[in-house]
Amino acid sequence: MVGCYHAKYAIDFSHSAITFFVKHIIISNVKGSFDSYSALVNAETLEDLTTAKISVAIDVANIFTKD
């Protein structure tokens, strides 16, 4: 049955990351990450996420670029 969610799955922070790369002055890339975030997946199973409801919240004030 579509829309009937049986389980909620939360992020495993020890095995997850939100990272990005940005080109800087054409010659280098800046790598960064967000260290404060949360996500929740409501789905019937993790094998088929086509009808899942996924929500993500990222604390953009907690950006980290090692600079």
Whether residue 5 has pLDDT greater than 60? no
For residue 18, the model assigns a pLDDT of 92
For residue 12, the model assigns a pLDDT of 83
Under 8 Å between Cβ of 33 and 17: yes
Instruction: Kindly report the number of other CB atoms within 10 A of residue 1's CB atom.
Output: 7
Question: Structural domain boundaries of the chain?
Answer: 7-64
Under 8 Å between Cβ of 37 and 17: no
For residue 2, the model assigns a pLDDT of 54
Whether the pTM exceeds 0.85: the reply is no
pLDDT 10s digits, 15-50? 889 999 988 888 888 899 998 998 888 888 778 888
For residue 32, the model assigns a pLDDT of 93
- For β-strands 18-24 and 28-34, DSSP reports them as antiparallel
Angle at 52 between CA 46 and CA 54, to 5 degrees: 100
